[in-house]
Amino acid sequence: MSDTSEPAPHERVPTALRGLRMLELMQWGSRFTTAELASELGVSQSAIRKYVAQLRGADFKIKSGPGFGGCYWIERGERAFPLQLTTDEIELVLLGLAAFSAAGGADDPRSAAAFELHRRILEIVPVEVAEKLDGFTDKFRKKLQMMSAVFRAQHGTKLDHLWA
């Protein structure tokens, strides 16, 4: 006797998180068919259409392609919503902020803003990520500040316009 059942969908996502998971999947402009979203969330395709209607009712501009099994996506810039980042992406953002805050110099208000944003993000990331990056970014920031000071001592401020 052969097994004709469909492959098991991903583990069912709790109801309260389904809309957020859909937004997370589509946040980078990726297009997903109804079947793909249903499989990812562990629900039926009709449930996906209901979630899309609910998200649209909450003013999310979810676009859809033609056909019954058409695809869904969110256009770039349609609406800001909670951005979901992987641990690696968080690390890159924090390193970029550390680099900018160090290289911008004490006179650049954006440098102070980058430093403050870095501090605020560290407060909300998982403890293991914060601990891993906190010491590293401090060393990184100090090295960049030292390099910036050496460069300015040798070349003055003639390249500061690049930061403006």
Q: Which domains does the chain have, with CATH numbers?
A: 15-74 (1.10.10.10), 87-157 (no CATH)
Tell me which of 4-18, 23-37, 92-106, 146-160 is least confident: 4-18
Q: Does residue 5 or residue 18 have the better pLDDT?
A: 18
The per-residue DSSP string of 29-96 comes to S--EEHHHHHHHHTS-HHHHHHHHHHHHHTT--EEE-SSTT-EEEE-TTS--------HHHHHHHHHH
The predicted model scores a pTM of 0.52
CA dist., res. 134 & res. 94, Å (int):
9
* pLDDT for residue 7: 39
Specify the range with the lowest mean pLDDT, choosing from 20-29, 56-65, 89-98, 153-162. Answer: 153-162
159 compared with 142, residue with greater pLDDT? 142
**pLDDT tens digits, residue range 68-88?**
667 998 877 666 566 778 888
Alpha carbon 108 to chain centroid, angstroms: 26
Left, alpha or beta for 105 (phi > 0: left; psi -120 to 50: alpha)? left
Residue where the block lists tokens 């492959």: 7
